[in-house]
Amino acid sequence: MSPTFVEATSSPELVARVERGAAAAASPVADALVTELSNELGEALVGVVFYGSRFNQTAGPRSDWDFFVVIESYRGVHRSWLHARLNSVLPPSVYRREVALRDGASAFCKLSLVSAADLDRYTSSVAPDSYLFGRLSKRVALVFTRDELARRRIVDALARSVALCAGWVLAEATADLSVEALAQEGVAFSYRCEERVEGPARRRKLFDADAEYFRDVYERAVAAQVAAGAVQVDVTGLMKRSGSVAARRVEQAAVAAFVRRSRRRARMRWFKNIATFDGWEDYMLAKLERHQGIGLSLSDRERRHPFLTAVRHYLRLRREGRLSGTGREGAARNSP
């Protein structure tokens, strides 16, 4: 159960700032993808969100282009009953698509499919893990919406995502926080909730790429928390949670339980991706080489048994401490 004040407390000012940040920049890849999806899905396509390293310009030359694809329902889009069921149980499902560009080139896109209903749920205080709101709390671009109602729905989800990260970090904090420290820890929160091959330096790089935006949105998220009476700000600008010491300990225990649950569900998604993501093995090998300097190659036998291979390499990487998100890092537990 989440701390009672982690209710995605938002405000018109936060929504407006998030919407300005999500203004779509020109992207031939995004344009080509939207055209293909619109032709295929028609009215079932609710919206497309461009995010990740290609968007914030921290990508390597071999990085895929990342998109959240919001759809009306899984049954209307997935051709396989199994894939529809997997997505409804543990959204989003991730797929890879090669998109043809007008100049004759092509780009590999990683598509995370999520229904509009699950978008609402997974960016709310009842979200069972951080996967969606952690990613959508970063600066993203809204490159397509079906209509104005869909636009408002997705923008509200983006604003709630920022508010949720702020709420979880404040619930855990054992020291007073500045807006700067809150913003940095908010950006890092989704990394702490998963075991990822990117190291801690990736979080700082991501923050630095959009530092002004993060400071702005987290300042507005704090203002909403202050207005709700959940946070107090002293004359120096430092924030601290309201409530008794006993209540704070209960909240901190709830955060720890949420982080553990998010990590478990993240591991489940890793193995689900093997079933949905064409070329998942090569994608992960490239990621390991890019972020960890690990050069691996898989034998034909290993490729014939991807689940067993994934388990073996996952356990080895975890044993060697190659995965981030396995410890308690962060500025929220120290004085800023």
Which CATH number is 85's domain given?
3.30.460.10
Whether 291 is covered by a domain: the verdict is no
Which range has the worst mean pLDDT, 115-124, 229-238, 248-257? 229-238
Task: Tell me the per-residue pLDDT of 26-62, one tens digit each, with 9 for 90 and over.
Answer: 799 999 999 999 999 999 999 999 999 899 888 777 7
- Which residues form the domain of 158? 12-262
Beta strand spans in 52-164 (E): 65-71, 93-100, 106-115, 141-145
Task: Tell me the per-residue pLDDT of 129-170, one tens digit each, with 9 for 90 and over.
Answer: 999 999 999 999 999 999 999 999 999 999 999 999 998 998
Whether 322 is covered by a domain: the verdict is no
Whether 126 is covered by a domain: the verdict is yes
Task: Tell me the per-residue pLDDT of 266-284, one tens digit each, with 9 for 90 and over.
Answer: 988 888 887 777 766 666 6
CA dist., res. 277 & res. 270, Å (int): 10
Tokens found for residue 254: 């709830």
Whether 296 is covered by a domain: the verdict is no
Tokens found for residue 8: 């995605």
**Among candidates 15, 10, 5, which has minimal Cα distance to 223?**
10
Strand 106-115, strand 141-145: pairing: unpaired
pTM of the model: 0.84
Whether 319 is covered by a domain: the verdict is no
Whether 152 is covered by a domain: the verdict is yes
Query: What's the domain count of the chain?
Result: 1
Contact 147, 101 (CB under 8 A): no
Whether 298 is covered by a domain: the verdict is no
CA–CA–CA angle 304, 298, 308 (5° rounding) = 50
